[in-house]
Each structure stands twice: as C-alpha cells, then as structure tokens.
C-alpha cells in the first residue's frame, strides 16, 4: 500500500473511496463491500463528537437485494408441511413419541424458516419449477439438493462460507 499521510480534517468521501480502492487492490481484507458502509458510519460518529471540525462522509447505500420466490407460488402442501415442521421444532407436546429432544430457540426457528424459503428460491433459480416442490423432502432429493447448493455457491462467487455450510446443514437436518 502506498504510504500517503492524510490529515483527519482532509478526510472526505473521495479519500475513503481511494482508501478502499487501495485495500481491494493490495490487501487480504475480506468483505470490503460491507466494511465501506460501516467505516463511513463510524467516521460520521467520530466527526459529530470531535472538536476538530471533521467532515462527514457519504454513507454508501446498502447493496442488498432480496429476491425470493413468493410463498404463494409454492404448493399448499409445501407451505403446510413447512408450518408443521416449524411447529414440531417448538415441541408443542414433549410426551409425543415423535417429539424433538428439545425445542429450538425462536431465532433458530426463524432461521430454519428462512433457510427453507431460501432453498425453494435457490431451486427456482436453478431451473426447478416451484410447483414441483410438493413437500420438504423434495428439497433434499439428491439432484435438487445439489442444484440448490450449486446455485448458492455460485451466487457466493464460487466460495464456501459459514452461511453456506449452515444452510447445507439445515437442509440435511430437514431430511433426518
């Protein structure tokens, strides 16, 4: 990286842009696209409380775009089975012979529902018609499972990640 001194009073949006361009070109810093927004927010907080007359910088817009197949495009049987599975995960009757050993936390329940929805969307994006997903078991059929994971892997730039591993594990848990 070039060593170029910048006084705090000279920091503006253009300086931050050059800083991130240098990081992208010459470092191993991961997830820079997420860091741009955080650094700008933190700088603005510093500028607000500093007595040195620091400039605020532009906060980059979020670049998240959520594309999901609508639940209503999925067969009623799939939607009902999803709700039954989520209910089962709450252990409504611990004495039921098919009950889970323990209930999942509310956050985990939301994550499971999200992963099911994400899997259905990934299947759709991989060319599988939503109407063919008539049950949760369809998500873990070998070819569908591979297509879902391949689509998510490609969407992640051909890289593995903790999120992708957790997603794959949730689908396997769904099958068992």
Q: What's the whole-model pTM score?
A: 0.63
Cβ-Cβ contacts under 8 Å for 39 (sequence gap 6 or more): 16, 20
User: pLDDT tens digits, residue range 120-158?
Assistant: 999 999 999 989 999 999 999 999 999 999 999 998 889
Distance in Å from the first CA to the final CA of the chain = 50
- Listed residue (142, 112, 123, 138) closest to 69, CA to CA: 123
pLDDT classification of 3: cutoffs 50, 70, 90: low
38-48 as b/e: b if 16+ CB within 10 A: ebbeebeeebe
On the question of pLDDT at 1 being above 80, the answer is no
Is it the case that residue 63 has pLDDT exceeding 80? no
Residue 13 confidence class, pLDDT cut points 50, 70, 90: confident
Query: What pLDDT does 83 receive?
Result: 96
Kindly indicate the confidence band of residue 59, based on its pLDDT and cuts at 50, 70 and 90: confident
Domain range summary for the chain, segments of one domain joined by +: 1-64, 71-175
pLDDT value, residue 26: 81
68-94 tens-digit pLDDT:
899 999 999 999 999 999 999 999 999
At 36, is the pLDDT very low, low, confident or very high (cuts 50, 70, 90)? Answer: confident
Specify the pLDDT at position 17. Answer: 84
Q: Round to whole Å and give the CA distance between 119 and 139.
A: 7
């Amino acid at each position: 990286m070039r060593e170029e001194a910048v006084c705090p009073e000279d920091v503006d949006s253009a300086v931050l842009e050059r800083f991130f361009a240098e990081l992208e070109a010459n470092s191993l810093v991961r997830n820079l696209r997420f860091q741009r927004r955080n650094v700008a927010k933190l700088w603005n907080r510093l500028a607000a409380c500093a007595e040195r007359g620091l400039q605020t910088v532009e906060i980059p817009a979020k670049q998240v775009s959520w594309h999901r197949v609508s639940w209503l495009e999925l067969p009623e049987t799939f939607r009902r089975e999803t709700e039954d599975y989520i209910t089962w995960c709450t252990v409504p009757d611990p004495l039921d012979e098919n009950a889970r050993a323990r209930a999942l936390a509310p956050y985990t329940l939301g994550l499971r529902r999200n992963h099911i929805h994400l899997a259905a969307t990934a299947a759709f994006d991989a060319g599988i018609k939503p109407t063919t997903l008539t049950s949760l078991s369809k998500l873990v059929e070998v070819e569908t499972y591979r297509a879902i994971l391949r689509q998510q892997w490609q969407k992640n730039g051909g890289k593995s990640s903790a999120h992708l591993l957790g997603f794959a594990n949730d689908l396997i848990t769904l099958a068992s």
